[in-house]
Amino acid sequence: AQSVTQLGSHVSVSEGALVLLRCNYSSSVPPYLFWYVQYPNQGLQLLLKYTSAATLVKGINGFEAEFKKSETSFHLTKPSAHMSDAAEYFCAVSEGSGGYQKVTFGIGTKLQVIP
């Protein structure tokens, strides 16, 4: 069974500081991995995804993530936090084939950016 662990349900960083949101996964097959962002009172939107191509994935708004198979990790980073990055971030693992699709989300990490 697949699972996702996001360490830290709340993370605070100063504006301009490095953002690091952690995600570890388990999957019985090579996974597809996603980071989604949720702004207040909105649905989720894709930040970036890994689908077995390059292990370093660049997304929108300056975010990137690196797939590390040996560590079963897919941590999200951004070199310099901006006030507009304050949101909740979800890591997700997806697997399936032939019409079967199972998507498992982590519990989410709320990012607070301090001026």
Partner 1 sequence: EAQVTQNPRYLITVTGKKLTVTCSQNMNHEYMSWYRQDPGLGLRQIYYSMNVEVTDKGDVPEGYKVSRKEKRNFPLILESPSPNQTSLYFCASNRQGPRDTQYFGPGTRLTVL
Binding site for partner 1 (CB under 8 A): 4, 6, 9, 32, 34, 36, 41-46, 49, 51, 90, 92, 94-97, 99-108
Tell me whether residue 53 or residue 56 sits nearer to partner 1 (CB atom): 53
Closest separation in Å from C-beta 4 to partner 1: 8
DSSP helix/strand/coil, 11: strand
Residue 12 beta carbon to partner 1: minimum distance, rounded to whole angstroms: 18
Residue 39 C-alpha from the chain's centroid = 14
Q: What are phi and psi of 15, to 5 degrees?
A: -55, 130
- Whichever of 80 and 101 has its CB closer to partner 1, that residue is 101
The owner of tokens 């597809």 is 32
Query: Residue 110 to residues 19, 20, 107: CA-CA distances in angstroms?
Result: 12, 12, 10
In angstroms, what is the minimal distance from the CB of 45 to partner 1?
Answer: 7
